[in-house]
Structure 1
Amino acid sequence: MAGLILKLRPYEELMINGVVVENGDRKARLRVKTDGAHILRLRDAMKPEEATTPLKRAYYIAQMAVAGQLANAEAVDHVRHALENYDGPGAEQARRAVDSRLAENEFYKVMRYLGEIIAAEPASPPAFAKNPTASELPLPQTVGGSAL
């Protein structure tokens, strides 16, 4: 993440290597110089109980990798498994797009891509249409020791 620029709103929270940090009362701009830092803006975070569809589940798993709470290889396997159960519009294209990002361990880009698709989902999409047992995949419940 060398050269990553974070633009923070007043009082915005983010997690850096498992530590929750809050911005002050003004906008801020930070540059992260260290490669391999685990950074998650909490406004981008999804709670485990919200991961009710294959896309949301994949997003949550990618989020855990971004936060450093799940090993990259394990996260790749879990994201792929979650997306196997997605059969919505453009499912094959979504799997290919996510897979190319997973190949580079670009979990934040996976989150951004899936976030756009999730925003376009109907209010009540069918959860796990292909494989109802996919919802039994265990998910970590916390980030950095703190529940989201």
Structure 2
Amino acid sequence: MPLKLSLKPGERFVLNGAVVQNGDRRASLVLQNKASVLREKDIMQADEANTPARRIYFPVMMMYLDEANADRYYDEFVRRLTEFMQVVKNPQVLADCVGASKQVMDREYYKALMTTRRVVDYEDERLGKNVGSGV
């Protein structure tokens, strides 16, 4: 199934590990086959993984972007997820954590990334950060 990306002027994204930037006008791309695509707003640098939920998100993002080496990031994901789940009491957030774990086990890394994104949003809300301002 093709994936259509609608890009804003200057918007960047990662496509199979390569950083690509749109020109000065809106554009649409249609990807006809499976590819790892991540929009700029969903990309996290290693130094931005500075909260418990972000420390879960980051290894999932790396598994998605570097699927051939996903095992390299798995232990970090499990450790951080376990630590987080030991202190969080919100049933929906715990369900998202369990869901993300299942998705990672099934190698559905993009789905796991979007699930852990909800966990980051929850944490941002609890910490009083602006939600929706990027990961």
TM over 0.5: yes
Aligned to 2:127: 123
Aligned residue pairs total 122
TM-score, with structure 2 as normaliser:
0.75
- Determine if contact 2:62/2:70 at 8 Å carries over to the other structure: no
Verify: 1:110 aligned to 2:112, yes or no.
Answer: yes
Displacement after TM superposition at 1:84 (Å) = 0.5
Task: Indicate the larger mover: 67-76 or 54-63.
Answer: 67-76
Which one has more relative contact order, counting CA pairs under 8 Å at least 6 apart? 1
Q: Which residue of 2 aligns with 1:127?
A: none
Aligned equivalents of 2:122 and 2:94: distance in 1? 16
* Unaligned ranges ≥5, structure 1: 125-148
Q: Which residue of structure 1 aligns with residue 39 of structure 2?
A: 41
SS in 2 for 1:6: strand
8 Å CA contact 1:64–1:70 kept in 2: the answer is no
CA deviations on 1:71-100 (whole Å, 9 max, x unpaired) are 223333332221001022335423311122
Residue 59 of structure 1 is matched in structure 2 by 57
Q: Structure 2 CA distance, aligned partners of 1:43 and 1:6?
A: 14
CA contact (8 A) 2:57 2:120 kept: no
Match of 1:7 in 2: 6
Residue aligning to 2:69: 71
**Percentage of identical aligned residues:** 27
Q: Distance in 2 between matches of 1:63 and 1:10?
A: 24
**Do structure 1's residue 85 and structure 2's residue 83 form an aligned pair?**
yes
* Distance in 1 separating the partners of 2:118 and 2:12: 22
With the length of structure 1 as denominator, give the TM-score of the two structures: 0.70
RMSD: 2.2
Structure that is richer in helix per residue: 2
